[in-house]
Every structure is written in C-alpha cells, then in structure tokens.
Amino acid sequence: MEKLVIEGGKPLEGEVEIAGSKNAVLPIMAATLLTDAPCTIRRVPKLRDVMTMIKLLRSLGKKVEMTGSTVVVESRGPLHHIADYKLVSTMRGSFCVLGPLLAKLGKANVSLPGGCIIGVRPVDLHLKGLGALGAKFEIENGYVVSQAKRLKGTSVYLGGIFGSSVLATANVLMAATLAQGTTIIESAACEPEIENLCHFLKAMGAKIEGTGSYRLIVTGVKKLKGVSFDVIPDRIEAGTYILLAAATHGNVRVKGADYAHLWALIDKLKQAGVDVIQEKNAIRVKVKKTLTPVGITTHPYPGFPTDLQAQFMALMAVTPGVSVITERVYPDRFIHVAELNRMGADIQREGTSAIVQGVKMLHGAPVMASDLRASAGLVIAGLAAKGRTEIHRMYHLERGYENLDQKLLALGARISRERE
C-alpha cells in the first residue's frame, strides 16, 4: 500500500488536461449490455472504477479491451445475469448493470452496491423505477434478485428526499430503451453525465426525448446497434484542479474543461475573488489577492456539486473569515472535517452544515483518506499547507483521478508516492 507525500506552500502553475468523465463512462459501459454489436468508447480515463467495470462486464460475458483511452466492448457468447458481490460491493456505479440486464435477459441478480462511505445511499429509487416497468424484486443474501418477462413502458416519478438520483435515472433510462411502449421519467436527474448517456443511447438507436431535462420520454425499440462514442470531460476532476489552483494562489490553465458544466462552482469562486476566465477549450484560474469567504449549499445539478464539497471546504479553510457549507445531497458527508482540523483548520459541524473559520495557514500532518472526494480535499489542503502532509489510503484517489500525482508534478507541486 502507498501513501501520498506532499510538501506544501508552493503555487501551482502551468496547464493540466482533463480526462473523460468517470461518472459518465461507467453507465455508458453498462449500456453496452443492451446490444450484441461492438461498441467503441473513447476518452475513457484509466481509473480503478473503470477497471472494476471492465472486470464486471467480462464476468457477465462481454469481451472488453482497453487500449490507451479507448475501450472496445464486444459479445463473446450469451450474457450471464449474476453481477458478483466482489465487484459490485467495491463501487456503487456498477449497480447500473441492473437495468440493462433486466431489459436484455428478463432477469438479473445484482449484489447490493458499495463505494465511498459518505452516508446512507439506498437503492429504493432504482427498484421503484424498474418495478414500475414490470420487474419483480426480492433481496436474498445481499443480492437484488429480479425478474421481468417483458418490461412495459409507464410513467414513473424518480424524485427522492434529497433530489433526483443519477444512477437510478440511468438504470431506468437504459431499461426503458428496450421496454414495450413509452416510458416517461419525471424528476429525472439532468446532470451532464445523464445527458451524455442519453446521447450514447440515441446513437445506438434508442428513441429519447427531453435530453438534459427533468422529464425524459423513452419509446422502446426492439434492438439497439453498436456505436463509436466520445465521453464528456470530467467536470469534478476539472473543478478539483480549479480549486487546487485557487487554494495555492496559482495560475493554471485547465484544458478540456467544459465551462458550462461548472457554473455553480465558478459563480462561488468569482464571489470569493478568484479570477476564472473562459478560454477556447479551457478554463484559466488565477489568484492575485486575498480571497473572501463564501458559503455554499450542495444540490443536484445544476446546483453546487456534492462531489466538490470537500474540495471547496479545503479552500475555505485557508480563506480568512467565516463560511458555512451545507450538505443537502449526502447529509453525513463530513468525514473529512476531522482530518482538515488535524492540519490546523477550524471547522465545526452543526447538523447538515459545517462552520468554517478560515485560518491564515494550515500545517502538514499525517491524515487518512476516507473516500474519493474527501481525499481530493486533503490533497488541496496539503498543497496549501506549510510543511509535510502524508495522505494514507491513497487508493481512494485512484478511483476517480487519473495520474493525479504526475499531473500535479507537471504543475510544480512537490508530491511523491511512498510505501507505507
């Protein structure tokens, strides 16, 4: 096992290129189960989660090859209907094979999902949506055991107590493409990753209206074809590098980032005094002055992303003054608070909010990564801090950031991997 070692206090400067979106490519890869024809997916980031999805697709009977950033998925015989615990339990995104397997085979046994420890994340909306299409479910020995002789189109509302569910929308959307009749998904997630999935499915021959909106209308077809497709850039990776530049008072060009996907973050950063400039196929971030504290509340897209909450908190921790950070998507997503406080931050949790009293300087310390985005927050804190920071369990970072240490080295960071 390795740890990440950072010597902080140095502004980041230069250019970094953003990889394809992890949260877009996982359901897109799952959607290849809907067809027997070959599919080519480009701009695929080389991440632990992507490798897990490749293993899962292979276990279900697909032939999958990855060359560089291109993944080719082909059929090699009949599909299997059991998605194994050892794979699904490590990554929540793998649960989105449930809808495609049900649509294609009429049955699916999928392990209940795992992933980051960021609070309760039930699968009730997945089962509600697929159940409305005619699927029957039982929970047996940690598996969702499901059957459906033929899925039938219907209207279903997918809003939950914390908003729309991205993965539930993906599961129901994919299943509906091969269902009989028309399905209307109300309160669908409208994240760019779902929009990208819609474009992928439409390229395969699916009939979908309302792409990018809260209301998706899907008319089922008998068969889907193979396709070649490009994944959108990862808005969370882009947002993380933007916040890295801001926290270190650097000057960084984030190449390949989509400005339109990051409005909520950019608006808050401009309020704080960060120069965020839209360039051709890039976003330039510069900080020349002392920043002003700004509060945020996370919401489903187009609101402030919960996946950037920990990183934004790290920035506010080194911004003198008081800011309030409220979590409305995963109310328990505050495990990183204790680790930031180990570095000298002054943060108090109050229910679903954190009160951040910004300090002039954080100090390096040994810290423990608890989940993917919390780990990124600790990297930001480490680069902004004085002295040496050791981030243990860095494998969390490898789930969602491609070549993070190498990209940061190219920006002038003093960062290395060491054996535990």
State the CATH number of the domain containing residue 163. 3.65.10.10
Q: How many CA atoms lie within 13 A of 75 on its CB side?
A: 13
Rg, C-alpha atoms of the chain: 21
383 and 239 fall within a common domain = yes
Residue 283: which domain range?
Answer: 2-19+233-419
Do 102 and 222 sit in the same domain of this protein?
A: yes
Name the 3-class secondary structure at 131. helix
Q: How far is CA 211 from CA 69, 184, 201, 233, 284, in A?
A: 26, 12, 11, 18, 29
Mean pLDDT by 10 residues, the chain (420 residues): 95 98 98 98 96 96 98 96 89 91 97 58 87 95 92 96 91 98 98 98 98 98 98 98 98 98 98 98 95 97 97 98 96 94 98 97 96 96 98 92 97 96
- Give the residue from 197, 213, 230 where a domain finishes: 230
Q: Give yes or no: residues 386 and 325 share one domain.
A: yes
For residues 31 and 62, membership in a common domain is answered with yes
- Among candidate residues 230, 252, 275, the one where a domain is terminated: 230
Length of the chain equals 420
Strand order, beta sheet including 414-419: 366-368, 388-392, 2-7, 414-419
Q: Which of 189, 211, 230 is the last residue of a domain?
A: 230
Could you tell me if 205 and 339 lie in one domain?
no
What's the pLDDT at 114? 59
Q: Do 245 and 192 share a structural domain?
A: no
Same domain for 274 and 221, yes or no, is: no
Q: In what order do the strands lie in the sheet with 143-147?
A: 82-83, 107-111, 143-147, 136-140
331 and 345 share one domain: yes
Convert 248-257 to b/e letters by CB count within 10 Å (16 or more is b). Answer: bbbbbbbbbb
Those residues with Cβ within 8 angstroms of residue 400's Cβ, 6 or more apart along the chain or in another chain: 22, 47, 49, 236, 237, 372, 373, 376
Spatial distance between the Cα atoms of 37 and 179, rounded to a whole number of angstroms: 19
Is residue 246 domain-shared with residue 128, that is, in the same domain?
no
Output the pLDDT for position 118.
42
User: Does 244 lie in the same domain as 374?
Assistant: yes
Residue at token pair 């409220």: 326
Please tell me whether residues 206 and 348 are part of one structural domain.
no
pLDDT of 292-303, one tens digit each? 999 999 999 999
Long-range contacts, 357-361 (Cβ 8 Å, 24+): 357/321, 357/322, 358/293, 358/316, 358/317, 358/318, 358/319, 358/320, 358/321, 358/322, 358/323, 359/317, 359/318, 359/320, 360/318, 360/320, 361/318, 361/385, 361/386
Q: How many CB atoms lie within 10 A of CB 270?
A: 12
Helix (H) or strand (E) holding 12: none
How many domains does the structure of the chain reveal? Answer: 2
Does residue 382 share a domain with residue 253? Answer: yes
CA distance linking residue 390 with residue 382, whole number of Å: 8
Note the pLDDT tens digit of each residue in 164-204: 999 999 999 999 999 999 999 999 999 999 999 999 999 99
Give catalytic status of residue 198 as yes or no: no
